[in-house]
Structures are given as structure tokens and as C-alpha cells.
């Protein structure tokens, strides 16, 4: 069963409910409480991020959004977060 979360798009100034797995495919959408869910993803180690995320697809989506802003995103972390999100589909 898909897990749904509240997401916000600043460019559109819209908040809506989306499947957690959709966030990685939609530019500009972030979990409403994303910053509180996983703080400092780009500066944390992969192990620390994965420990904080656990098996929670909402946290994984928030972490993936934050990691996507890093240049370059860490492929190991992105792959692991996508697996966590995909398990909910």
C-alpha cells in the first residue's frame, strides 16, 4: 500500500497530498515538515542518514529531496532511499 504525505511546492504556493514515492519524480515538491524530519542530510554521513530514516518512507522521501540538492548527490544514499520508498508501493 502506498504511503501518502503532505507536500508543498513553493513556486506554485500549493500544498497537497502525494504518494511518498512520487516526490523523487516531481521537481519543486518537498514534504511539509521535511526539514524537521531529517536535518542536515547533505552534511551528514550516509550511515547517519540511513540510521535516522530507518524504514520510514516519509523520512526517506524527505531525505531524498534534501540529498537531491547536493552537488553531486551521493548515488549510494539515493539508491538506498529509493529502495525504502519503493518498499511501500
The distance in angstroms from the start CA to the end CA of the chain is: 6
Per-residue pLDDT band for 33 (boundaries 50, 70, 90) equals: low
When pLDDT is averaged across residues 77-89 and rounded to a whole number, the result is 85
Q: pTM of the entire structure? A: 0.63
Give the SS3 label for residue 17. Answer: strand
pLDDT value at position 79? Answer: 96
- Report the C-alpha gap between 24 and 85 in whole angstroms: 9
Q: Are 17 and 31 in contact (CB under 8 A)?
A: no
Give the domain ranges of the chain. 4-86
Task: List, in sequence order, the alpha helices (H) in 1-89.
Answer: 34-37, 46-53, 57-68, 75-86
Give the model's pLDDT for residue 36: 45
Amino acid at each position: 500500500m502506498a504511503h501518502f504525505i503532505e507536500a508543498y511546492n513553493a513556486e506554485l504556493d500549493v500544498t497537497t497530498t502525494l504518494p511518498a514515492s512520487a516526490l523523487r519524480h516531481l521537481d519543486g515538491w518537498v514534504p511539509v515538515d521535511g526539514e524537521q524530519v531529517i536535518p542536515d542530510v547533505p552534511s551528514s554521513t550516509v550511515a547517519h542518514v540511513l540510521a535516522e530514516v530507518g524504514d520510514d518512507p516519509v523520512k526517506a522521501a524527505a531525505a531524498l529531496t534534501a540529498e537531491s540538492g547536493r552537488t553531486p548527490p551521493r548515488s549510494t544514499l539515493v539508491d538506498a532511499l529509493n529502495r525504502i520508498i519503493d518498499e511501500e508501493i
